[in-house]
Structure 1
Amino acid sequence: MRVLKYAILGLLEQEKQTGYDIAAAFKGALGQFWSAKHSQIYPELKKLVAEGLIEFETVIQGEKLEKKLYSLTVAGEAELKEWMQRLEAVDVSHKDEFMLKTFFISSMEKEEAKELFSNQLDSRKRKLDELGRILTELEAEFGSNIVFSSPEFGHYLVLTRAIEREKGYIQWLERSLQFME
């Protein structure tokens, strides 16, 4: 399944965007749980246009710069809605290189393993701090206006889940380090 397709459709459902805007979204809020590179985004945009799910208009920025401003078509809205309503099984294909290393940890020396886990713990704590900062900014900007119908609601839910994920990961890393002693 081309999940990137649905990420782009969802972004365009919120507002018209350029390819640059879409790529920036993957470095921002979407980047907390999904990644895509320019080399993936632009070919996907071409496919979506060819499939009639999105369209674009060429706009001029400044004196000469032409940009494509993408928007959803009626067919794109229907495709997005159908995907949103589809019930999926739990995705078990998540790739986590650290967990792969952990699976083979017996191949390491104990001190190397502790260093690996300590490094991951520090990284996860930094990530948790960053997520907390983003949540504080979101709550400061929107406060009690974050309701189900607001575009920020989904970001709020994903952000609070990411925070819980990092807290759980940190607890597991701390317990694992203690167990290594």
Structure 2
Amino acid sequence: MGTLKYAILGLLNRNAMTGYELSKEFETTLFEFWNAKHSQIYPELKSLNAAGLIEYHVEITGNVLEKKVYTITDEGRRDFLSWEETLCPIQTATKDESRLRLFFLDSASSDFRLQFLEDQRQQHQAHLTHLLENQQKFDTVPPKEARAFSDYLVLRGAVLREEAALSWIEECLQLANQRKSNSASQKNRA
């Protein structure tokens, strides 16, 4: 079991949840820095249950709808806290398709290069706007003992990351436009 195990244990350490609610947390709360698909979460829940780290009870909703509500066990909490209270190395390399495409952008036409960079700028701007809207739910920085403090720190990191990415893309656009102008000037001189 990898890090997904601890993401699930951490969520269940906060609140009892159904598999559906866990999936929603990965889509909303954790999506900025960790993702997991529905098809990954349910097998992991089964493994965690078999290992005695979580347990569940069945709730009946309506006449027939059954749902499993998962909770962390004492053993699961100990395992999670052991992981949580261990220092870890920073993650410097991630898979980023847009940066991979940018790396090979010299293969594309000059017009597409600018189109690609402009599209990236617009996407980063839209994402930054979304993050800043999320940040408005915090009137002030929460107390460091509150759960919201950790949420705030991660959100601030996402805002700063997007601001840096947007600044970098704008610099890329500026450099690309300068190169385009320089190439045009050299052709006119020839």
User: Shorter chain as normaliser: what TM range?
Assistant: over 0.9
What does the per-residue CA deviation read over 1:64-87, in whole Å, with 9 as the maximum and x for residues that have no partner?
A: 211111000111101111111121
Q: Distance in 2 between matches of 1:149 and 1:63?
A: 42
1:55–1:73 CA contact under 8 A, matched in 2: yes
1:116 is matched with 116
Aligned-partner SS, 2:171: helix
In the TM superposition, residue 93 of structure 1 has moved relative to its aligned partner by 3.8
Q: How does 1:157-176 map to 2 (within 5 A)?
A: 157-176=153-172
**1:49 — aligned with what?**
49
Quote the RMSD (CA, aligned, Å): 1.3
Change in 2 beyond 3 A, CA 1:145/1:16: farther
Describe the superposition over 1:86-107 as per-residue Cα deviations: whole angstroms up to 9, x where unpaired.
Answer: 2112223411001111111221
How far off its partner does 1:109 sit?
1.8
Q: After the TM superposition, which residues 19-38 of structure 1 pair with which residues of structure 2 at under 5 Å, given as runs?
A: 19-38=19-38
Q: Provide TM-score, normalisation by structure 1.
A: 0.93
- Preserved contact between residue 114 and residue 173 of structure 2 (Cα < 8 Å): yes
CA distance in 1, matches of 2:154, 2:16: 22
Whether the 8 Å contact between 1:110 and 1:180 is mirrored in structure 2 is no
- 2:124 equivalent to 1:154: no
Deviations 1:128-148 (A, max 9, x none): 000111111x21xxx347212
- 1:83-102 equivalences under 5 Å are 83-102=83-102
1:4 is aligned to 4
Aligned residue-pair number: 177
**4+ runs of 1 displaced by more than 2 Å?**
none
> What's the TM-score once normalised by structure 2's chain length?
0.89
Alignment gaps of 5+ in structure 1: none
Unaligned ranges ≥5, structure 2: 178-190
| 1:64-83 correspondence runs (5 A) | 64-83=64-83
Output the amino acid matched with 1:171.
S
Distance 1:19 1:153 in 2: 25
Deviation at 1:32, TM superposition (A): 1.8
